[in-house]
Amino acid sequence: MRNEQDQIGMSVMAGRRLHLEKVGVNRILIQKINLVVAMLLTFASVARCEDVDFQRDVLPILQEHCIDCHGPDEAESQLRLDSELSALRGGDSGERLIVPGKSSLSYLIERITTEDSDARMPPDESPLSEKQVQILRSWVDDTTRWKPVETKLASQKIDHWSLQPLVRPEVPDVGVTNPIDAFIATKLTENKLKNSKRASKRSLIRRLYLVMHGLPPTPEQVDSYLSNQHPDAWEALVDDVLKQPQYGERWATHWLDLVRFGETHGFETNRERPHAWRYRDWVINSFNSDKPYDKFIIQQIAGDAVGEEIGTGFLVAGPYDLVKGQDPAFRLIQRQDELADMINTTGTAFLGLTLGCARCHNHKFDPITQTDYYSLQAVFAGVDHADRSLPIPVEQKRKLVEVDKQIFSLEQKLAQFIPEKSPPGTRPAVTATSNVELFDPVDAKYIRFTISKTSSSQPCLDELEIFANGRNVALASLGGKASSSSNLPGYEIHKLEHLNDGKYGNSHSWISNESGTGWVQIEIDGIQIIDRIEWARDRDGRYSDRLATEYKIAVSLDESTWQVIASSKDRLPYKSGKQTKPTYQFDGVSPEIAKRGRAWLDDLNTLQARRSKLAEAPKVYAGTFHQPGPTHRLYRGEPSAPREEVVPAAIKALTDLALPANAPERDRRLAVAHWIANRDNSLTARVMVNRLWQHHFGTGLVDTPSDFGANGTLPTHPGLLDWLAAEFIDSGWSVKHIQKLILTSNTWQQESRPRSEAMAVDAASRLLWRFPGRRLEAEGIRDSILTVTGQIDLEMGGVGFSAFEIDAENVRHYFPKTDFGPADWRRMIYMTKVRQERDAVFGVFDCPDCSQVVPGRSRSTTPLQALNLLNSRFVLQQADFFVKRLESESKTTEEKIVRAYKLCFSRPPEKDEIETAIEFLEQSDWQQFARAMLNANEFVFIP
């Protein structure tokens, strides 16, 4: 029937051509008419083929011409279009192969109709005929046929183990009290293995301190534990170790590896980040305080929204290319790389998913689409690498107030020395970052700040603070109610509610909707006696526009009668952001009065210098935030090939979380943080307890700790992993709770001695028939050396020390130190982490570069390690200190040897070891003996 219709159509066209030629119509016009007729006939033919069948009509076209819609890049995997379900699901490219009802938006139609011969399907042959194209178009545009396919696709479930809902499994009943031991024993029985016996008390306390603190126990701590015969002695020791501050330093080291924390930018300039250390200290304090892990997550992704500003140092802990390219296209690539770093680290650290694999195409193994990736990019698109000012600490603010009072008093005394021709006002001009109004105590209920002139545009205040008895009573949390003459519309960061929300900076500020004028008012809770008001335009110091330069502050009890208590009239004029200082003239007065005036002026200058320092807000390298524009999916990850706009969202296969395209920047991060930290997220708890297990036993239950996807490995003990994850959540996300369970288990307390019959079954000890001993990491080795030599400085926190001499050119050059002093003898976690450089002595012990996420360090054995521990200046110096310590704490040769063994190995020497040591000393000296002890395998080994 169709062939007959086509023949009729051809006849009509031929007849029409002859007729037109007879009447003398131009041949070009004839060709155009014929083309239109052909198109109409084609559409008519398709219209007549209302029932396009996939098997009969579509599949033969796809198979005959080998259309599989693989990408023009041969490395891109192919998609076989052998069913409508697979066609709707699409391939790896991230493009929507089929958009039901919209063939013009479907990638399949784009590929078969493109004029680019390299990209057009089918490859290496002529393009499809117009009729074939129209059949495919009709197939795609038939929305009715796609509805059941869409339903079927939506109903498909993910069957990968780590993405299943978390259900607490039953603990095997094998006659043990610790659930961990029950799961381990069951697996051992299945493999015809059994546990090893309990390790000696000396081995256990040494293992405990090295694993949990990264430091060896002192001989006195060992003796105390050995003498404690109480049945709960071990549990009490575990509790004590978990409470000591060195615990947080040790476990923060693992976390900082994981989140690629560094204190330089990397790349060619490799400039310093002098304020990055605050994030390191924040992590240490978080572990020491056993901060609930769900809060730990939220505070690192959106700490600025929950009062933990430093936590967002996580987002920008990675490398940053400070030098931006001149080519706009290259700058776009640089920005994409910055955002990729944030997305990848968030995915691997918290979820154990390799999100970065979906940057250029759909993930090849996990249910993460390219759209998911760019939806997450929309979440982080407003994050920028930068220092950020923190709120001034309360004690610092108290000192600032006291200094302001002293300055005010001195300025009043010095007013008599201002010449009459000087400008009016004795108080300093207003500043954008801090202004204090002091006045006699006054009763107030309503406080109104009226602005009559600004430095530019509409006035802006980031916070209006009103003090009664030293407390800011303006806060909304204390009942303060804000009102205003007008508010700038359309900006989430500039709202009236920010005037008294206790948060500083431009991103939490009020702006009037009147050019140069406006008023704000705080109604406080009840009538109170106030004596001080503080205000600023931007305490973070980033903006100085919109500053109120002429103003008055008035109070009222009934909102009808007002009393002015402060104004700009007694301030010096504001000039381009610089404070104008008055000129004092001491001529024409008695020498005694002049002397007193000059002394007052000296005191004033000293106080003003002190005030400048006190007014400086502390900074942290934790990023700054801006409201981002639209985010688009990028074809093959190319910034120059944007596709459809995406909304801020998480992974669609795992959650329906999605926000509007114009959602406030902070809300985006906060929403994703809450999704990750939600107890219903099956990945979060599993991933974290696996990391805890990894650092207790050397290997996780899943030995790909940052890949819980299909390309990762299966857990050795899936029931135990899920039980620990459920217990973790039910404990209130307590890290220390899980650690205590592990440390008090018989599994962790086994000896590490190998057994031949067990080695034949499980050589890697993954089934945990023994404790897997291992070498300490670089930090543990260095800190242990400093501990036994008595030189370690256990001061916590603050600016770290550098292992390098720095050539501070535009491009930084780092040269390893050759001389060491007390400043270098702090714990290694406080050594400034320089990207692309490693400590000359201990860097060879597999220290990460901190430009990449490191879920677990490798453990290599190289000649350089032995040479550095034996001959480096650092070790030679420490060996001398070790000798001096032995001389000061022991008298005889044998006593020194015994003391050395207890310090280094947490045990006394055997008789033959004493004899060997004495023989060695007769042929050598104490310095060589000390070096040998610090190089012994037993010294660097977790037993």
Does residue 535 contact residue 511 with C-beta atoms inside 8 Å? no
Q: Which of 721, 719, 683 is nearest to 700 (CA)?
A: 721
- C-alpha–C-alpha distance, residues 682 and 168, integer Å: 12
Does residue 666 contact residue 674 with C-beta atoms inside 8 Å? no
Question: Does position 77 have pLDDT exceeding 60, yes or no?
Answer: no
Query: What beta strand segments (E) does 357-461 contain?
Result: 383-384, 387-389, 435-454, 460-461
- C-alpha–C-alpha distance, residues 196 and 202, integer Å: 17
- Kindly provide the b/e burial profile for residues 150-159, where b requires at least 16 CB atoms within 10 angstroms of the residue's own CB: eeeeeeeeee
- How many CA atoms lie less than 13 Å away from 793 in the CB half-sphere? 15
Q: What is the mean pLDDT of residues 827-836?
A: 96
- C-alpha–C-alpha distance, residues 141 and 103, integer Å: 6
Q: Tens digits of per-residue pLDDT, 665-707?
A: 999 999 999 999 999 999 999 999 999 999 999 999 999 999 9
- How many CA atoms lie less than 13 Å away from 27 in the CB half-sphere? 0
Q: C-alpha 795: how far from its chain's center? A: 26
What are 509's strand-pairing partners?
A: 494
Residue with structure tokens 């006054």?
A: 442
Question: Does position 849 have pLDDT exceeding 60, yes or no?
Answer: yes
Q: What is the mean pLDDT of residues 486-510?
A: 91
Structure tokens belonging to residue 655? 């959650």
- C-alpha–C-alpha distance, residues 586 and 592, integer Å: 11
What's the pLDDT score for residue 566? 95
Q: Which amino acid is at 130?
A: E
What's the pLDDT score for residue 583? 84
Q: Which amino acid is at 474?
A: A
Question: Does position 598 have pLDDT exceeding 60, yes or no?
Answer: yes
Q: C-alpha 755: how far from its chain's center? A: 43
- C-alpha–C-alpha distance, residues 261 and 866, integer Å: 28
Q: How far is CA 135 from CA 38, 60, 98, 109, in A?
A: 16, 11, 14, 11
What's the pLDDT score for residue 507? 85
Entry pTM: 0.80
Question: Does position 102 have pLDDT exceeding 60, yes or no?
Answer: yes
- C-alpha–C-alpha distance, residues 831 and 828, integer Å: 5
What's the pLDDT score for residue 733? 98
Q: Higher-confidence residue: 103 or 243?
A: 243
What's the pLDDT score for residue 405? 87
Structure tokens belonging to residue 720? 């135990």
User: Cα Rg for the chain, rounded, in angstroms?
Assistant: 36
Angle at 595 between CA 590 and CA 598, to 5 degrees: 125
Residues 792/796/802/808 CA torsion (nearest 10 deg): -160
Residue with structure tokens 């992974």?
A: 651
Q: Tens digits of per-residue pLDDT, 632-655?
A: 999 999 999 999 999 999 999 999
Contacts of 65 (CB under 8 A, 6+ apart): 121, 122, 125, 128
Structure tokens belonging to residue 917? 């040591």
What are 152's strand-pairing partners?
A: none
3-state secondary structure (DSSP) of residue 344: helix
Per-residue confidence at 112, pLDDT binned at 50, 70, 90?
confident
Q: Is 251 exposed, middle or buried, given 0-12, 13-18 or 19+ CB atoms closer than 10 A?
A: buried
Q: Which of 914, 941, 885, 749 is nearest to 219 (CA)?
A: 885
Annotated domain spans of the chain: 1-46, 48-152, 292-387+625-678, 427-581, 874-942
Q: Which of 879, 880, 899 is nearest to 891 (CA)?
A: 899
Question: Does position 624 have pLDDT exceeding 70, yes or no?
Answer: yes
What's the pLDDT score for residue 265? 96
Least confident of 31-45, 527-541, 600-614, 681-695: 31-45
* Phi and psi at residue 445, to the nearest 5°: -125, -40
Contacts of 892 (CB under 8 A, 6+ apart): none
- C-alpha–C-alpha distance, residues 28 and 653, integer Å: 56
Contacts of 386 (CB under 8 A, 6+ apart): 316, 621, 623, 624
- C-alpha–C-alpha distance, residues 14 and 566, integer Å: 96
What's the pLDDT score for residue 541? 78
Q: What is the mean pLDDT of residues 207-224?
A: 98
Q: Which of 527, 576, 532 is nearest to 553 (CA)?
A: 532
Report the phi/psi class of residue 906: left, alpha or beta, with left for phi > 0 and alpha for psi in -120 to 50. left
3-state secondary structure (DSSP) of residue 343: helix
Instruction: Give 55's DSSP letter.
Output: I
Q: Tens digits of per-residue pLDDT, 252-261?
A: 999 999 999 9
Give the containing element (helix H, strand E) for 41.
helix 27-48
Per-residue confidence at 411, pLDDT binned at 50, 70, 90?
confident
Q: Which amino acid is at 516?
A: G
Residues 869/875/881/883 CA torsion (nearest 10 deg): 40
| Torsion 815-818-824-828 (CA) sign | positive
- Kindly provide the b/e burial profile for residues 892-904, where b requires at least 16 CB atoms within 10 angstroms of the residue's own CB: eeeebbbbbbbbb
- C-alpha–C-alpha distance, residues 402 and 880, integer Å: 51
Q: How far is CA 178 from CA 171, 514, 726, 744, in A?
A: 9, 68, 15, 8
Percent of the chain as helix, strand, coil, to the nearest 5 = 45, 10, 40
Give the containing element (helix H, strand E) for 556.
strand 548-556
- C-alpha–C-alpha distance, residues 399 and 729, integer Å: 43
Q: Higher-confidence residue: 54 or 273?
A: 273
Question: Does position 378 have pLDDT exceeding 80, yes or no?
Answer: yes
3-state secondary structure (DSSP) of residue 525: strand
In the chain, the percentage of residues whose pLDDT exceeds 90 is 70
- C-alpha–C-alpha distance, residues 767 and 757, integer Å: 14
510-511 and 619-621 strand pairing: unpaired
Q: Tens digits of per-residue pLDDT, 559-573?
A: 999 999 999 998 888
What are 520's strand-pairing partners?
A: 449, 484
Q: Which amino acid is at 178?
A: N
Q: What is the mean pLDDT of residues 112-122?
A: 82
Residue with structure tokens 């490219």?
A: 93
Residues in the chain, overall count: 943
What's the pLDDT score for residue 390? 87
Q: Is 590 exposed, middle or buried, given 0-12, 13-18 or 19+ CB atoms closer than 10 A?
A: exposed
Structure tokens belonging to residue 210? 């090295």
518-536 and 463-468 strand pairing: antiparallel
481-484 and 435-454 strand pairing: unpaired
- C-alpha–C-alpha distance, residues 504 and 522, integer Å: 17
Q: Which amino acid is at 845?
A: F
